[in-house]
Structure 1
Amino acid sequence: MQKPFYLFGAGGLGKEYYHYIFQTFDFERNYVFKGFLDDVATGQGFRNHPIFKSEEVVFSGECAMLFAVGSPKVKRVLDERLTGRSIEFPSLVHPRAMLVDLNGITIGQGTAVCPGSILTTEIVIGLHVLINLNCTVGHDVQIGDYSSLMPGVHISGQVRIGREVMIGTGAVVLNGITIGDGATVGAGAVVNKDVPEGTTVVGVPARPLQR
């Protein structure tokens, strides 16, 4: 039986995910797309699918969903709001992403690996993680829940990325680095030292942002 399927987020990432889901996990056999959920927009969304206010949708039965949201904090808040609901969060690995070692990569529920990304071996990825277009993730890497890697991020081997971490477009994280929970890495940064929890780093080499 097909489950109702929603994308939480009606912005640009929601538009991309809309295409990805139909190319992944035999979508039309397992799910039926019902529309987008959003806390701001309503009406008709991408390809004329409805946008529901999240509270308007009554999950009286089982459904499936992905968070089409880049912000780590927002993903965590949404997950907490929906705790206890009968919701399936499938992981989405696009067929044009490459997982070099299928037996050596663990991917949590609700995580998306987008086209062009390459993951090698001995990698553990948490819940609701976004690995956007054309990223690379090297060996023995851990990525915590709700974190987001924007397009073109390159993660070297033996890197530890905490929960709710945002890594901006084109950033590079060198071998053996640890990035603490809630940290932000600016676009194009090159991270060659550990990043403490809650810290924003920018530049080449990456340094804490002065406020």
Structure 2
Amino acid sequence: MADIRVIIPAINEGDSIGKVVSELPEHVTEIIVADNGSQDDTAENARKAGATVVTETRKGYGYACLKGLEYISKQSKVPDIIVFIDGDYSDYPEELDKVVAPILENDVDFVVGARKKSLREPGSMTPQQVFGNQLATFLMRVLFRSRFTDLGPFRAIKYEKLKELEMQDTTYGWTVEMQLKILRKKMSYAEIPVRYKRRIGVSKVSGTVKGTIFAGIKILGWIFKYSLK
């Protein structure tokens, strides 16, 4: 059986993190919650649910993901697949098997769980999220001949391929950076439709004007940066 490690970046997700951890498939080798300086019981609830908790005090989605990867890099056994999922319970953790299937069955390098409109709970994505995704993936199609339709956070990638990407972004550009580097390096990829529901709590990105604007700037910045290479 494949060695699958799950990384969950989280900040102040005390009400939801236990649900995310407990509903991931039992065959997952290890679940790592990267606590990004939470002021609530996120870390405690994650541990109670069975996760390993690592702490990253520097605020940023990418910082948290990188901390999770740093922890994995120090383990004696090398994983086969890394899965990323958010800690807000907006994804369905039990769909992990569906997301990793193209890697296990067809040797695909990278898979995005695409939040198709028909599978989204009404109101689960804000209008600015929908517009931002559409704009970003449109530009990626035009500039890079991409087939991506979403920048969804629920994703899986072969560990060795992830190391090749040399991820750098420390904030909201993490997802698009990964997908742009996949395209640039001509790695194989697929999208798998996944369900999506209203998150528990308030989003740190789309829930604020500042977060929305900053995320948009970061995402577009990565796209135009790579278009000039």
What TM-score do you get using the length of structure 2 for normalisation?
Answer: 0.33
Q: Flag the structure with larger Rg.
A: 1
User: Quick check: which one's strand share is greater?
Assistant: 1
User: Quick check: which one's helix share is greater?
Assistant: 2
What TM-score do you get using the length of structure 1 for normalisation?
Answer: 0.34
